[in-house]
A and B are shown apart, each in its own frame.
Chain A
Amino acid sequence: SQQGEEDPQALSIQEGENATMNCSYKTSINNLQWYRQNSGRGLVHLILIRSNEREKHSGRLRVTLDTSKKSSSLLITASRAADTASYFCATGRWGAQKLVFGQGTRLTINP
């Protein structure tokens, strides 16, 4: 199976703290992406990191990629209540014509 795995499955932290989510995958990839899904809504693209990149930043988001370990992490700094959502990693491969999603991490930010 190409399905990725994320951990933890659920994470609950206080507002202002940092949240770290991890993703592992099984095949070679061209890129890895992170998406956010608010309850009852569609997925929103957050950030894409290519296989030849090791780290990428976007606002309060920091993504790392270790292709030797087939793993990635998403760090959200200074979390806010509005960050409460499910976060999914997805891998893209050239010629695959699809994204393969992880199982997601449900993040709850407590005020």
Chain B
Amino acid sequence: DTAVSQTPKYLVTQMGNDKSIKCEQNLGHDTMYWYKQDSKKFLKIMFSYNNKELIINETVPNRFSPKSPDKAHLNLHINSLELGDSAVYFCASSLEGKGTEAFFGQGTRLTVV
């Protein structure tokens, strides 16, 4: 069984559209994250959730709205997609949100055209 799974793996969409990426973890972890990896492979935290509560919003535009219906799921909705949103988005989870080992999903490659 996949520990952290996110869907879809690839997403190609036009500017201005709204899209969602789903993430689920079956590890029983309390903390989930969204990271963005740009074209230069730089990984940066976007959001951190602990037991469904938002802990970190790292100056992400309001067009990005995470939703955590329960502690095993953290979905990412993006409104009014822009060309600059093209990147690989990774969901991750950890047992505690204290800088401990993180388990990553396979990533969603978003391409905005």
15 contacts between A and B (CB under 8 A): A30-B99, A33-B101, A41-B106, A41-B107, A42-B104, A43-B90, A45-B102, A98-B33, A98-B45, A98-B56, A98-B58, A98-B99, A100-B45, A104-B41, A104-B43
Which interface residue of B41, B43, B56, B107 has the most chain A CB atoms within 10 A? B43
Bound CA span A31–B17, Å: 40
Question: Across the two chains, which residue of chain B brings its CB closest to A98?
Answer: B45
What residues on B are CB-neighbors of A99 within 8 Å?
Answer: 45, 99, 102
* Residues of chain A at the chain B interface (Cβ within 8 Å): 3, 29-31, 33, 35, 37, 40-45, 48, 86, 88, 90-101, 103-104, 106
Check B42 against A93 for contact (C-beta < 8 Å): no
| Contact across chains for B102 and A103 when beta carbons are under 8 A apart | no
Write the nearest CB–CB distance from A44 to chain B, whole angstroms: 7
Q: Given A45-B102, A103-B40, do A97 and B90 touch, yes or no (CB 8 Å)?
A: no
Q: Is B48 an interface residue (CB 8 A)?
A: yes
**B44–chain A nearest beta-carbon distance, Å:** 7
Q: For chain B residues 39-91, which have a beta carbon within 8 Å of chain A?
A: 40-45, 48, 50, 55-56, 58, 90
Total contacting residues, chain B, CB less than 8 A? 28
Known: A42-B106, A98-B45, A99-B45. A48 touches B40 (CB 8 A): no
Q: Which of A86, A92, A93, A99 has the most CB of B within 10 A?
A: A99
Nearest opposing residue in chain A for B100, CB measure = A92
With A and B bound together, what is the CA distance between A48 and B33 in angstroms? 19
Q: How far is the CB of B99 from chain A (nearest CB, A)?
A: 2
Contact B50 A45 (CB under 8 A): no
Contact across chains for A101 and B106 when beta carbons are under 8 A apart: no
- A44–B56 alpha-carbon span in the complex (Å): 23
Contact A96 B99 (CB under 8 A): yes
The answer to whether B98 and A94 touch across the interface, beta carbons within 8 angstroms, is yes
Contact between B45 and A42, CB atoms less than 8 A apart: no
- Cβ contact of A101, chosen from B44, B55, B105, cutoff 8 A: B44
**A91 contact set on B, CB distance < 8 A:** 99
Which of B35, B92, B101: most chain A CB closer than 10 A? B101
